[in-house]
Amino acid sequence: MKLVSAALSLVLSSALPALAHDIPADVAKSPPAGAFKAVSSLVKLPDFLPGMGQLFVDPASLPAGPFLAYDHDGKLVSTIYMLPIKDLNPDKRFDDLASPGGNVDHVSVYYNAGHPGVEEPHAHVVLWHVAKADEARVAK
């Protein structure tokens, strides 16, 4: 577990300085521009996931992402990385993860046992672009 914490700290310490900018127009509203696709069009998942929102990902960036998460009004609320637990070790690095979402208010990290699209156990690293109280925009 100490290894997982150390790896996540490394990822966050290298990613957060790059996030000191406003939300770019091409990702501020759903659907985002570029190669991003709705996750629900790629795997068997609902269009809106309670607690996360409507997710978009560039398939070439899987499994880590970034996944862009939007509320019911199509506004960006978070950027999510899904880092396989097996890859959180001294031999693997997650360098240069894209950070398209803009300013980060706070970060959540939690374990996920796997789901369609990222079946293996992984850690969700959520960069919230909204205040803690506004997480409720994707709660249901």
> Residue 13 pLDDT more than 80?
no
Q: What is the pLDDT of residue 1?
A: 52
> Residue 16 pLDDT more than 50?
no
| Other beta carbons within 10 Å of 84 | 17
Task: Give 20 or 79, the one with higher predicted confidence.
Answer: 79
Task: Give 98 or 8, the one with higher predicted confidence.
Answer: 98
The structure tokens listed for 54 are: 């409507």
Q: What is the pLDDT of residue 132?
A: 95
What's the CA gap between 97 and 17, in Å, rounded?
Answer: 12
Number of domains in the chain: 1
Residue numbers of the domain that contains 112: 2-138
**pTM for this entry:** 0.83
Task: Give 20 or 6, the one with higher predicted confidence.
Answer: 6
pLDDT digits (tens, 9 = 90+) for 41-72: 999 999 999 999 999 999 999 999 999 999 99
What's the CA gap between 99 and 81, in Å, rounded?
Answer: 10
Q: What is the pLDDT of residue 69?
A: 97
Q: What is the pLDDT of residue 77?
A: 96
The structure tokens listed for 130 are: 């909204």
Amino acid at site 134: D
pLDDT digits (tens, 9 = 90+) for 93-119: 998 888 899 899 999 999 999 998 889
CATH of the domain at 57: 3.30.200.270
